[in-house]
Chain A
Amino acid sequence: MALLLRYLLKTPVFTETLHRDDDLEIEIITRQIDTRARERFGRSLHIREVDAGSCNGCELEISALNSPYYDLERFGMHFVASPRHADCLLVTGPVTRNMADPLKRTYNATPAPKIVVAVGDCAHDCGVFAGGYGVVGPVSAILPVDALVHGCPPEPRAILLGILAALEKHP
């Protein structure tokens, strides 16, 4: 117990500051929400991550966002379990046949106003899985996408900047 307490008290804050990097590929596609909603989401965004058939490479990068290094909570963002609680859907992977309908249902279950951020090359144009028999198409074929973060997989920094770009927020 004493060891645990000592460890807890001695742990420093590991969070790195987020730098804007110009060689990261982030595309802004749609504008689903108005300025006021964007301002509100800029300070408090609840994210629901949806794996629409990805290889989980992007998921590993996204889960790093919760770590002390990237710490997305300092931007007011928070991952939630239910789409009813969410403002932003973070979608990865080429949309497979089995996940096309659930993805649409998840989007419909999210209350307006909402944004969609697609992560990874697969979400952009199905990446290496393009043309496969189990794949329906990119995320933009199913949902209106606000921002797209290229990479296979993209860095957690890029994903974070991508979400902020969708809200027109710059660190």
Chain B
Amino acid sequence: MIIDSVGMLDLLLVTLASFGIGALGALIMARSPKLASIVGHGGALLGAIAALMLGLAGLAGGSLQLEFADLLPIGGAVFGMDRLSAFFVMVTAVGAIPAALYAIGYTREYAGKHSLAGMGLAFNVFIAAMILVPLACNVLTFLALWEVMSLASYFLVITEHEREETLQAGWIYFVMTHAGFAALFLGFLLLAHATGTASFSEWSAAAAKLDPSSRNLIFVLLALGFGSKAGAIPLHVWLPRAHPAAPSHISALMSGVMIKLGIYGLVRVAFDWLGVGPIWWGGTMLVVGAVSGVLGVLYALVDGDLKRLLAYSSVENIGIIMLGIGAAMLFQATQLPGLAALALVAAFYHTLNHAVFKSLLFMAAGAVLHATHTRNLEELGGLIRRLPQTAIFFLVGSLAIAALPPFNGFISEWLTFQSLLLSFQISAHTVNLLFALGVAALALTSGLAAACFVRSFGITFLALPRSERAERAREVDWTMRAAMLVLALACVGLGVAPSVILAPLEAAVFALTGAHADMQFSLTAVVANDGFGWVAPLWIALGLVGFLLIIPLGLRVIGANHRRRYYETWGCGRALQTARFEYTAAAFANPFKRVFGLLYRPAKKLDVEFHPESRYFVRAIAYDNQGRLVFEEALYRPLLRLIEALARQARLLQSGSVHGYLVYILIALVALLILAV
């Protein structure tokens, strides 16, 4: 009702106004950190709620057109919303609402140490930019907003700038995001030059006129640019540094929402701007997705830092989304639009699900960090008794990300599997084999993700605390818990009743590909390809709950013994039971380190310090078994060395003499005159 009467434009104005009030209000209240936080984050919360309504209205069919001709050169600032943009606005809002609520409680400890006013400003600008990026309809609007988003997030990442590693992480993030920006800039300029227009809506029609080699080049440039933002391997190196360094609600936003804008770009490139591409585009996307999925989760499995492993897990999930997108591109290239639409629905659903459960996981990890002041898994433990609600929220997030029923991750991975399995309808052998390997990669990813989160949840929350900090932890305040509760309920809701979101998703995909997805769904069941596979999430949930209630009743009926006695853990009769006897996180990951040793290239160091008087007595043992960062050593360091070498050569040009520089100007002038004539 509100949506009809207010109108889309008004919703957008309300959204931007709320963010503006939040940003300015935070600055005005700079003297009082508490008020600055409440105004800043409250404004962001209201803006995000308005954005959610905007996104939902857009998915329901509303449209938007806005143009400011003189704001930017080359066409002005143009905004427009179609169903795809509306979906990504909705995803942003879904991530931003809990983040804003959470931030109020989380940033309390920054009062006095860092400027909460500055944080409020940057926070509002960041979210506003993320909401406007999908609405941008022309090259410079898009690039300007993209840059604003990157800058705002950079300032938020380096909030805790007193730590050396945070500044380093921020620097690497800054460089990578601008390298991606350069690729995007180049790609956009080439495309605009080739098609003669800078407006996005005119590109899909003009794309047919492009010659294949320039199309391929543009695709590669844009894919690199958007892929680096999304965090696909091997462009992911900034993710595991920036996400742990940032404050937890910012990590949640970056992981849950910002990297999805890279996905938005990839979808636009593959399905809208460049038209249907050759097979190798989709194939490359599929392979990159599979590799990112498997490698991402393998790195997450052996990581000892709670937030860094969540960052690697984001790389994994981006891989899964790219598997779906790659599959969709391949289906389009082989004239199977129904299946392409199905694969896209799966990818989009996973995008939304990941935004929900990854935000939940980062917020829960942030709560742990808030309560214990450590992210190191080897120092945590026993938190289920001290932070009982946070534990349940982390458990829900873990179950969702491991794709277990009855949560949302299960449905989106199931759909991705179905679309990959349906590839048998293509009759090209290499493509079939590629899809088969994609299925294997997705299955491996899924199994390893379950293992990874058994480890994360188990070591962090179960058994005994491994350090004093974990022992003294107390449950966090209500704003943080309320934000997590909202996301946990969303995980369950999206898992039990997926048809609620599948209908608008299908409509969005139809607008993009012109085909209806090869699936039917009702309130209770989802069917793919007329019976190739079906699942009934609501029934599964009811079945699980039903049996869980019946079994204890059954036990009472047969008269089972109900006495329970508490005693110590069985330690083979040992008198002592401390946290030192528990399994450690590194030990839990050991089987994987050995099986996938080729990837990790672990460098084991074992230093044994003997008693000075006798080698039979050991005083101390130091064990270090870190994996080496393969991509950094193999790819980035040589690249950086090459750039450094080139820069050193270029320094020869800097002679320091004014006469030399005048000669350069003369040469440049003459060259340009020759080129112009």
Q: Do A and B touch (CB < 8 Å)?
A: yes
Mark the stretch among B403-411, B572-580, B639-647 that contacts chain A: B572-580
Instruction: Let me know if B567 is at the binding interface, CB within 8 A.
Output: yes
Residues in B neighbouring A111, C-beta threshold 8 A: 565
Residues in B neighbouring A56, C-beta threshold 8 A: none
How many residue pairs between the two chains, A and B, have CB atoms under 8 Å in the bound complex? 22
Do residues B573 and A102 form an inter-chain contact, with CB atoms below 8 A?
A: yes
Residues in A neighbouring B563, C-beta threshold 8 A: 112
Instruction: Let me know if A101 is at the binding interface, CB within 8 A.
Output: yes
**Shortest Cβ gap from A7 to chain B (Å):** 35
Interface size class of A (residues with CB under 8 A): 10 to 19
**Shortest Cβ gap from B36 to chain A (Å):** 56
Instruction: Let me know if B568 is at the binding interface, CB within 8 A.
Output: yes
The 8 Å CB contact of A101, one of B565, B567, B570, B575, is: B575
**Shortest Cβ gap from B266 to chain A (Å):** 53
Residues in A neighbouring B565, C-beta threshold 8 A: 111-112
Q: How far does the alpha carbon of A111 sit from the alpha carbon of B565 in the complex, in Å?
A: 8
Residues in A neighbouring B570, C-beta threshold 8 A: 82-84, 109
Nearest residue (CB) in B for A52 is: B573
Using an 8 Å CB-CB cutoff, how does the interface string of B555-575 with A read, 1 for contact, 0 for none?
A: 000000001010110101111
Q: How far does the alpha carbon of A81 sit from the alpha carbon of B254 in the complex, in Å?
A: 49
Nearest residue (CB) in A for B575 is: A101
Do residues B567 and A102 form an inter-chain contact, with CB atoms below 8 A?
A: no
Using an 8 Å CB-CB cutoff, how does the interface string of A99-110 with B read, 1 for contact, 0 for none?
A: 101110110110
Nearest residue (CB) in A for B565 is: A111
Residues in A neighbouring B573, C-beta threshold 8 A: 99, 101-103, 105-106
Residues in B neighbouring A106, C-beta threshold 8 A: 573
**Shortest Cβ gap from A47 to chain B (Å):** 16
Residues in B neighbouring A84, C-beta threshold 8 A: 570
Nearest residue (CB) in A for B573 is: A102
Q: How far does the alpha carbon of A106 sit from the alpha carbon of B570 in the complex, in Å?
A: 8
**Shortest Cβ gap from B588 to chain A (Å):** 21
Interface size class of B (residues with CB under 8 A): under 10
Q: By CB atoms of chain B within 10 A, which of A105, A108, A111 has the most? A: A105
**Shortest Cβ gap from A28 to chain B (Å):** 26
Residues in B neighbouring A112, C-beta threshold 8 A: 563, 565
Using an 8 Å CB-CB cutoff, how does the interface string of A70-82 with B read, 1 for contact, 0 for none?
A: 0000000000001
Of residues 67 through 99 on chain A, the ones whose CB sits less than 8 Å from some CB of chain B are: 82-84, 99
Nearest residue (CB) in A for B574 is: A102
Do residues A108 and B567 form an inter-chain contact, with CB atoms below 8 A?
A: yes
**Shortest Cβ gap from A50 to chain B (Å):** 8
Do residues A109 and B567 form an inter-chain contact, with CB atoms below 8 A?
A: yes
Q: By CB atoms of chain A within 10 A, which of B563, B565, B572, B574 has the most? A: B572
Residues in A neighbouring B574, C-beta threshold 8 A: 102
Residues in B neighbouring A83, C-beta threshold 8 A: 570
Q: How far does the alpha carbon of A101 sit from the alpha carbon of B574 in the complex, in Å?
A: 8
Residues in A neighbouring B575, C-beta threshold 8 A: 101-102, 105
Q: By CB atoms of chain B within 10 A, which of A102, A109, A112 has the most? A: A109
**Shortest Cβ gap from B160 to chain A (Å):** 47
Residues in B neighbouring A82, C-beta threshold 8 A: 570
Residues in B neighbouring A101, C-beta threshold 8 A: 573, 575
Q: How far does the alpha carbon of A102 sit from the alpha carbon of B572 in the complex, in Å?
A: 7
**Shortest Cβ gap from B559 to chain A (Å):** 11
Q: How far does the alpha carbon of A109 sit from the alpha carbon of B575 in the complex, in Å?
A: 13
**Shortest Cβ gap from A130 to chain B (Å):** 24
Q: How far does the alpha carbon of A99 sit from the alpha carbon of B572 in the complex, in Å?
A: 11
Nearest residue (CB) in B for A82 is: B570
Of residues 536 through 592 on chain B, the ones whose CB sits less than 8 Å from some CB of chain A are: 563, 565, 567-568, 570, 572-575
Residues in B neighbouring A102, C-beta threshold 8 A: 572-575
Nearest residue (CB) in A for B572 is: A102
**Shortest Cβ gap from B257 to chain A (Å):** 47
Nearest residue (CB) in B for A106 is: B573
Nearest residue (CB) in A for B571 is: A105
Nearest residue (CB) in B for A105 is: B573
Q: How far does the alpha carbon of A67 sit from the alpha carbon of B225 in the complex, in Å?
A: 69
**Shortest Cβ gap from A105 to chain B (Å):** 5
Q: How far does the alpha carbon of A84 sit from the alpha carbon of B564 in the complex, in Å?
A: 13
Nearest residue (CB) in B for A107 is: B573
**Shortest Cβ gap from B571 to chain A (Å):** 8
Nearest residue (CB) in B for A84 is: B570
**Shortest Cβ gap from B244 to chain A (Å):** 39
Residues in B neighbouring A105, C-beta threshold 8 A: 568, 573, 575
**Shortest Cβ gap from B223 to chain A (Å):** 53
Q: How far does the alpha carbon of A142 sit from the alpha carbon of B77 in the complex, in Å?
A: 87
Of residues 118 through 147 on chain B, the ones whose CB sits less than 8 Å from some CB of chain A are: none
Residues in B neighbouring A108, C-beta threshold 8 A: 567
Q: How far does the alpha carbon of A83 sit from the alpha carbon of B575 in the complex, in Å?
A: 16
**Shortest Cβ gap from A100 to chain B (Å):** 10
Q: How far does the alpha carbon of A111 sit from the alpha carbon of B567 in the complex, in Å?
A: 10
Q: How far does the alpha carbon of A145 sit from the alpha carbon of B574 in the complex, in Å?
A: 22
**Shortest Cβ gap from B561 to chain A (Å):** 9
Known: A99-B573, A102-B574. 20 other contacts (CB 8 A): A82-B570, A83-B570, A84-B570, A101-B573, A101-B575, A102-B572, A102-B573, A102-B575, A103-B573, A105-B568, A105-B573, A105-B575, A106-B573, A108-B567, A109-B567, A109-B568, A109-B570, A111-B565, A112-B563, A112-B565
Minimum-distance CB pairs A-B, first 3: A102-B573, A105-B573, A109-B570
A residues engaging B (CB < 8 A)?
Answer: 82-84, 99, 101-103, 105-106, 108-109, 111-112
B residues engaging A (CB < 8 A)?
Answer: 563, 565, 567-568, 570, 572-575
Q: List 15 A-B contacts (CB under 8 A).
A: A82-B570, A83-B570, A99-B573, A101-B575, A102-B572, A102-B575, A103-B573, A105-B573, A105-B575, A106-B573, A108-B567, A109-B567, A109-B568, A111-B565, A112-B563
